[in-house]
Each structure stands twice: as structure tokens, then as C-alpha cells.
A = this chain, B = another copy of it.
């Protein structure tokens, strides 16, 4: 983080290093649960973040925004920084459930090529957003609108729903949650995650045939050594 935190208010960083697009897409196909395991179980946003429509599954590179309570001015500033394949990740400087984002901003974001919005606050016009097919993960849904009066920043490191997000990081979001992969780690994480995925098909077949995890993972010895007792 070369930008000192105190200087980050009122700053828009235009040139950011985005995670490789092919790797981002690869991570998206693997899904948040597998990627999170491959990360060593770090980088997950808190589970109160929920999709406005289940079934959506996307990945992209982060354009970050820091907003203030009840003020969505910086989302317009962020729109200009969006490149095709980006996901906007919006943090708020305090707890807020207002509806920062609706169908007009979604129209603008889609026109810029954004794949989704992840926001630690509320959104509105959700029926229209679903019809438009623009995926959103948020903390709340609220008809309460916002004003445009206070500067925030775009493309600085932000803390969003308990996770540190740097601009350009890979963002993987689906029904299970949202995981952030640092751009520099994306290739390696994708490799580890793919290996996990490759093993799953065979495991699933064996479990479906009635083999127990106790045997497939060879757990009985460890359980006995740990002291597990069977009684009747």
C-alpha cells in the first residue's frame, strides 16, 4: 500500500494493475468455496453479504470505492474507471444500509462493462436489477436513497465486509459468498484450486456409491487415536 491511508480521501487512482483476465475467469469457474480453500481459507467477505438473486456466479477484477454513510457520489466517479470485466467493490466508512445503487447506476455500470457490484451497504430497484441481469451482492435492500455531497476515493485499498480489497484483485462471487484473491496470487491460487477440483469428481462418485468418508479419507485410525468411543 504505497498510498498512505491519510492521503487517500478524495483520490482517484486511474492506472491499476488488474489480475490476468483468463485467470480471473478460471477462478470464477472454480467458485468461491474451492477458491477460498485454495487461498488457505482467508480472503472471504463476511457471510451477511448476500446476492440479490440466487444462482449468479461471476468473477472479475476489483475497482474499489470508499463511500461515506448515505452518500453515493463516488459511485459515479467509479463508473468512469470501470473497464470491461471489472467488479466494483464498495466499502462504506461506517455502518449503513441505505440504498446506494439502483437501476440507473446499473445501466451505466453495464454500459462500461462491469460484471457485478459488491457493496457493504444497501441497494434498491432490485426487481429491475434482476430483470437487467446485473448481479449484486449487498448487505441490505433498502428504498432509502442517498445524496451526493462528500468525497470518498476510488481505487484505494478498502476494507469491505471484513476483507481487505486492493484495486485489481480478483473477485469471485456466487451463492456461497465472495472471496478476494490478490492479483499477485491469482495464478497460484487457480492452480491449487484446480487440483482440488480435479479430485472432487472421483470422490463424489465413490461417496454416491455408498463408500463412507470415514473410509475414503482413512479417518478411522485418527479418530480412534483421538479417543472416539462407540457405545450401544
The CA of A174 and the CA of B145, in the complex, are separated in Å by: 15
Is residue A124 contacting chain B, with contact meaning CB distance below 8 A? yes
- A91-136 interface (Cβ within 8 A of B): 93-99, 102-105, 107-108, 110-112, 122, 124-127
Is residue A232 contacting chain B, with contact meaning CB distance below 8 A? yes
Cβ-defined contact, B177 with A142, below 8 A: yes
Q: Which residues of B contact A177 (CB under 8 A)?
A: 124, 141-144
Q: How far is the CB of A53 from chain B (nearest CB, A)?
A: 9
- A141-187 interface (Cβ within 8 A of B): 141-145, 147-151, 157, 159, 162-164, 174-179, 182, 184-185
- A40-76 interface (Cβ within 8 A of B): 40-44, 47, 50, 54-55, 57, 68-70, 73, 76
Is residue A36 contacting chain B, with contact meaning CB distance below 8 A? yes
Which B-chain residue is minimally distant from A57 (CB atoms)?
A: B127
Cβ-defined contact, A213 with B79, below 8 A: yes
Q: Which residues of B contact A232 (CB under 8 A)?
A: 13-15
Cβ-defined contact, B143 with A112, below 8 A: no
Cβ-defined contact, B40 with A6, below 8 A: yes
Q: How far is the CB of A46 from chain B (nearest CB, A)?
A: 8
Cβ-defined contact, B230 with A14, below 8 A: yes
Is residue A5 contacting chain B, with contact meaning CB distance below 8 A? yes
The CA of A112 and the CA of B79, in the complex, are separated in Å by: 49
Cβ-defined contact, B39 with A207, below 8 A: no
The CA of A47 and the CA of B145, in the complex, are separated in Å by: 12
Q: Could you mark each residue 1-15 of chain A with 1 if its beta carbon is under 8 Å from any beta carbon of chain B, else 0?
A: 100111001111111
Between-chain CB contacts (< 8 Å), 21 pairs: A6-B182, A31-B125, A32-B143, A36-B143, A36-B144, A41-B93, A41-B144, A42-B93, A47-B141, A47-B144, A55-B127, A69-B70, A76-B219, A77-B219, A107-B208, A108-B208, A124-B176, A125-B176, A142-B177, A149-B149, A159-B159
Besides the known contacts A11-B228, A14-B230, A144-B177, 14 further A-B residue pairs in the complex with CB atoms under 8 A apart: A6-B188, A10-B228, A31-B125, A33-B99, A33-B124, A42-B93, A54-B127, A73-B219, A76-B212, A77-B228, A105-B213, A143-B179, A159-B162, A159-B163
